[in-house]
């Protein structure tokens, strides 16, 4: 029986792993987390995916407990600016498409229009709430969509795999503050926290890890080791020498520069979305937190120097960025061939990373932790379990890679060398054939990447249409169907959007109340 887990590395990945394992196994599992005060974390994973709500539910943490401590805000969508053309934008919301007579409203939008309204405007409610900067909750704490409210004040114990409905929001938060909040929560639940430097990693006769050696606390042994050391991959890559498979042949960006910019959020309000603004050699994220924004330029070092990227980012932000310290980041884009080797499991950046375009970094952490529990080993470390874990993690990362490649391939930009090169890059296996399919029909559940990777066909629909790559013709079956039900659905979406944009509190108003 596995009785003791040693997690090497803190930050968001380490403390999410520690608290989740402790919540799952409680006193039946000893969890030790070793983190160094001398090793900085990346600290810019501040926008998330809607499944993260289930993580907090699983830990039994209500929003009023953790959100104020982490300067957290709500995220209803990602707003893509200048990807189709300068001055144009659209939203990728956390909202599934409605249907009429067996076809989605996206299919009906192609047939009926109105084509003077973007697909996301016509088919979804959330874009109107984003434009109006609304919170997804009423001031009494109830969710705007009654069918999604659990009816109680405490979170439900759920996981992402029980997400029968699409939850309509995720979060933005200060990653460093969240890690510290989870550290406090985890130590209260029994996680042993060791603040020390790892100076050596020792292996056993089977090739696995027997213990790590720390500078002040000496050797620390365990049955299972979790590598949360970020891009360094101290255990999985440096010690166990597992090969890393790069995605650089299909994804262009390998660098980022980030700023933390203090702002007064009351006058202009708080946008409930992440913004991804296309630029000459990449794109800029804007993440509104309570009291500041997080912003960064993700770019390719083939087309832009760090100095040029920082200058462009500061120019984009304006005078508010004058005193903000720049954090330059080299991103390791790709994944390990295997994320579980012997008795070591890599989670977070040490396992793999794409780029932050769809805010999937923390999603990968959560997915990795949950898969670890589902494939939990015995003392003999059955390789069938490890193989199942590795396949699930690899497929998830590869699926997100494909979805992100679609963003660059479908973007209607060829006005700079960067965007010309992005369009000419090779495609992951299978995507070329799917793109040919989508020229004739919008993506469906049977025509997108077939393994779980967090994105459903509605996400592919909204990205293709938003980027200007919708099929030229609607589905022929719609020519023979009565459009009345579809027109009623479009009218209902519009009525609901207008009503909610008028009656819900602003995000600032709601969060100001939450902060007391």
Pairing of strands 30-35, 73-75: unpaired
Q: Is 198 annotated as a binding residue?
A: yes
Report how far apart the first and last C-alpha atoms of the chain are (Å, whole number). Answer: 47
Decide if 185 contacts 59 (C-beta within 8 A).
Answer: yes
Decide if 82 contacts 179 (C-beta within 8 A).
Answer: no
Phi-psi region of 446 (alpha: psi -120 to 50; beta: other; left: phi over 0): alpha
Angle in degrees, 0-180, between the axes of helices 361-374 and 11-25, rounded to the nearest 10: 30
Q: Is 95 annotated as a binding residue?
A: no
Token pair, residue 318, equals: 């304006």
Residue whose token pair is 């056993």: 204
Q: Is 60 annotated as a binding residue?
A: no
Q: Which residues contact 433 (CB under 8 A, 6 or more apart)?
A: none
Specify whether 22 is catalytic. no
Exposure b/e, 395-404, CB count within 10 A at least 16 = b = ebbbbbbbbb
Residue 7 phi/psi, 5-degree rounding, is -100, 125
Cis peptide leading into residue 133 (ω within 30°): no
CA atoms within a 13 Å half-sphere pointing along the CA-CB vector of 504: 30
Count Cβ atoms below 10 Å from residue 265 Cβ, excluding itself: 21
Q: Is 287 annotated as a binding residue?
A: no
214: helix, strand or coil? strand
Q: Which residues contact 137 (CB under 8 A, 6 or more apart)?
A: 74, 143, 144, 504, 505, 510
Decide if 475 contacts 441 (C-beta within 8 A).
Answer: yes
Q: Which long-range contacts (CB under 8 A, 24 or more apart) does 237-241 make?
A: 237/336, 237/350, 238/201, 239/201, 239/203, 239/209, 239/344, 240/207, 240/209, 240/341, 240/342, 240/344
Strand partners, 201: 212
Phi-psi region of 334 (alpha: psi -120 to 50; beta: other; left: phi over 0): left
Given the residues 75, 133, 137, 409, select the one marked as catalytic.
75
Pairwise CA distance, residues 258 & 243, whole Å? 29
Q: Is 11 annotated as a binding residue?
A: yes
DSSP assignment letter at 20:
H
Pairwise CA distance, residues 16 & 9, whole Å? 11
Stated as kind and residue range, the H or E segment containing 200 is strand 198-203
Q: Is 503 annotated as a binding residue?
A: no
Residue 89 phi/psi, 5-degree rounding, is -150, 165
Q: Is 358 annotated as a binding residue?
A: yes
Residue 327 phi/psi, 5-degree rounding, is -115, 110
Numbered residues of the known binding site for FAD: 10-13, 198, 349, 362
Numbered residues of the known binding site for L-tryptophan: 358
Numbered residues of the known binding site for 7-chloro-L-tryptophan: 75
Positions marked catalytic: 75
């Amino acid at each position: 029986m596995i009785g003791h887990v040693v997690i090497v590395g803190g930050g968001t990945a380490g403390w999410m792993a520690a608290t989740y394992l402790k919540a799952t196994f409680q006193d039946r599992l000893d969890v030790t987390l070793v983190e160094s005060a001398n090793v900085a974390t990346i600290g810019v994973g501040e926008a998330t995916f809607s499944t993260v709500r289930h993580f907090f539910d699983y830990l039994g943490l209500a929003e009023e407990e953790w959100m104020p401590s982490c300067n957290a805000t709500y995220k209803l969508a990602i707003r893509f600016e200048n990807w189709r053309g300068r001055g144009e934008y659209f939203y990728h919301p956390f909202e599934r498409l409605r249907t009429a007579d067996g076809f989605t409203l996206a299919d009906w939008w192609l047939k009926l229009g109105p084509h003077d309204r973007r697909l996301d405007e016509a088919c979804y409610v959330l874009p109107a709430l984003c434009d109006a900067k609304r919170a997804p909750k009423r001031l009494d704490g109830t969710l705007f969509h009654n069918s999604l409210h659990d009816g109680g004040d405490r979170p439900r114990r759920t996981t992402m795999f029980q997400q029968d409905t699409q939850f309509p929001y995720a979060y933005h938060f200060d990653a460093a503050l969240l890690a510290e909040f989870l550290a406090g929560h985890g130590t209260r639940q029994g996680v042993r926290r060791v603040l020390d430097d790892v100076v050596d990693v020792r292996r056993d006769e089977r090739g696995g890890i027997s213990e790590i050696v720390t500078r002040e606390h000496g050797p620390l042994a365990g049955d299972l080791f979790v590598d949360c050391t970020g891009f360094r991959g101290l255990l999985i890559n440096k010690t166990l020498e597992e090969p890393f498979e790069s995605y650089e042949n299909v994804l262009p960006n390998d660098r980022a520069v980030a700023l933390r910019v203090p702002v007064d959020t009351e006058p202009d309000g708080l946008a409930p979305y992440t913004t991804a603004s296309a630029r000459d050699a990449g794109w800029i994220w804007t993440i509104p937190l309570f009291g500041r924004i997080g912003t960064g330029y993700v770019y390719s070092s083939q087309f832009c120097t760090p100095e040029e990227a920082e200058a462009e980012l500061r120019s984009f932000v304006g005078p508010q960025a004058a005193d903000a310290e720049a954090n330059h980041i080299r991103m390791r884009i790709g994944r390990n061939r295997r994320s579980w080797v012997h008795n070591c499991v890599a989670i977070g950046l040490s396992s793999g990373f794409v780029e932050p375009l769809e805010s999937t970094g923390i999603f990968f952490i959560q997915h990795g932790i949950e898969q670890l529990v589902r494939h939990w080993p015995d003392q003999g470390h059955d390789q069938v379990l490890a193989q199942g874990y590795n396949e699930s993690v690899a497929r998830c990362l590869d699926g997100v890679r494909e979805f992100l490649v679609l963003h660059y391939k479908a973007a209607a930009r060829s006005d700079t060398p960067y965007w010309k090169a992005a369009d000419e890059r090779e495609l992951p296996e299978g995507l070329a054939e799917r793109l040919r399919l989508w020229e004739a029909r919008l993506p469906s559940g049977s025509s997108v990447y077939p393994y779980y990777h967090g994105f459903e066909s509605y996400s592919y629909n909204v990205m293709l249409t938003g980027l200007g790559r919708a099929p030229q013709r609607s589905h022929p079956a719609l020519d023979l169907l009565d459009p009345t039900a579809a027109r009623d659905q479009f009218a209902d979406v519009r009525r609901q959007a207008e009503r909610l944009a008028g009656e819900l509190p602003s995000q600032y108003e709601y969060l100001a109340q939450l902060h007391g």
